[in-house]
Amino acid sequence: MRIAFVFLLLSPLPALGQIPDLPVDDPDSVGAIDQQRAYSLFGMFRAQEDLAFHSPNDGCYARCHLMSMRLGQMGVPARRLWAFSAIKARLYAKTNGASSRVVEWDWHVAPVVPVRVGDKTRWLVFDPCLFSRPVSVEDWAAALRKNAAAPPPQLTVTQLGEPPIRNGQRFPGSGYWLRPDPREGPSAHAFKTLGEMKAPK
């Protein structure tokens, strides 16, 4: 298992356009966790029914918010990775969570976590709607394209509490989603949004 995981991290990656500039040196400076803990935390999130991974068509902002908050409470310094569709295109992803097994979005967001690999930092995305394990930023971006000919998504990373920038303009609010924060606050809104997504019987 460990050998296969290392191969995944070091294997050649597809060209996907601009990848966000994340610090890769000095894992201690970004609070990087080890690979085993990354997998364990990912598995923990997959089992949390209140995150409604069975309904990936909407609510990524709510899932990302709650996962980011829970990671922070455990001392894991997550950031948020945003993907925006190209002009006249949509993000396209395959998932076992949707009845059609395919979802399309104009944008998507998920937590990205620093993981120690030797003396370097590798940033892995936590997105149980699309994957059964943590994945690299490159693999996550590739999963949001219908095929290799589709335009790559525009990626950007934010710290918690920081709204993303798209085409040179920063969105309002605290980075919970792309609009001003909901009146009841991000956490209350996230619980309500995901709570309304009924699991299939």
CATH of 34-195, one of 3.10.620.30, 3.60.10.10, 3.40.50.1000, 3.40.50.450: 3.10.620.30
Written as six digits, the tokens of 42 are: 């990912």
- In tens digits, what is the pLDDT along the chain, a chain of 201 residues? 333 333 333 333 333 446 788 999 999 999 999 999 999 999 999 999 999 999 999 999 999 999 999 999 999 999 999 999 988 889 999 987 666 689 999 999 999 999 999 999 999 999 999 999 999 999 999 999 999 889 999 999 999 999 999 988 999 999 999 999 999 999 999 999 999 997 765
Helices (H), 19-120: 35-46, 60-73
State pTM to two decimals: 0.88
- Is residue 34 within 8 A of residue 156, CB to CB? The reply is no
Spatial separation of the C-alpha atoms in residues 170 and 194, rounded to whole Å: 26
- Is residue 80 within 8 A of residue 175, CB to CB? The reply is yes
